Amino acid sequence: MRIATWNVNSITARLPRLLAWLESSGTDVLCIQETKTTEQQFPSDELRDLGYESAVHATGRWNGVALVSRVGLDDVVKGLPGGPEYEGVQEPRAISATCGPVRVMSVYVPNGREPGHAHYAYKLQWFDALKAAVASDAGAARPFAVLGDFNVAPTDDDVWDREFFEGQTHVTPAERAALEALRQAGLSDVVPRPLKYDHPFTYWDYRQLGFPKNRGMRIDLVYGNEAFAKAVKDSYVDREERKGKGASDHAPVVVDLDI
């Protein structure tokens, strides 16, 4: 079984590449972030033509998450139970479902903007709610994973230059402590480092030749419970999908399960 996560940075802009990638990669379940569309505008018909069901939680121009599956899509939960609001709104940043033998959650963790900003405090609150929301699934016998754009680099080795990020989000002790708390809930990072190259980054800024210079970060993660982690037989970051015209600024992260 092949499960992947991909921040597409607008599913409308990325649709031709997304459809081609699904066909070529043989992915069974894809967790999508940053759809930047409404549920009504989501390309469910095009995905159905490829054999995928869709579950979408999106409200418009910003944020938005989705799950697409060709192995079943049941017990869908939209939103983060108990999640905080930002400026009076609970943003569409989480969706979960059962896909065949596996329970998955697609998440788009708030960026945080900068330490001290209200959005940074919101980010930490969101992590607290995420930990509480996954507790029962994390301890269950059924394979379960949270996949998505966590907007945190777990270690200094997961950014191209630690000094460059000094004083910025994604690398602060509080954010990394939030990731550690999630692990303590019964989850682990199932994509090992290093993979087939020294720095398996998943995101590269469009600006200042970020991708050609490999100035990236590893912020797209797969956190699975014990049953999920034991089933993992391979994983990789599809850097090729970050290349060329019309690419997202994130690459897909793929996990193969012996299940």
Q: How far apart are CA 101 and CA 120, in angstroms?
A: 36
User: Which residue numbers are catalytic?
Assistant: 108, 149, 250
214 annotated binding-site participant:
no
Contact present, 241 and 220 (Cβ < 8 Å):
no
Select from 218, 259, 208, 209 the least CA-distant residue to 239: 218
Which tokens sit at 3? Answer: 């499960």
34 annotated binding-site participant:
yes
149 annotated binding-site participant:
yes
225 annotated binding-site participant:
no
220 annotated binding-site participant:
no
Binding residues are 7, 34, 149, 151, 249-250
Binding residues for Mg(2+) are 7, 34, 149, 151, 249-250
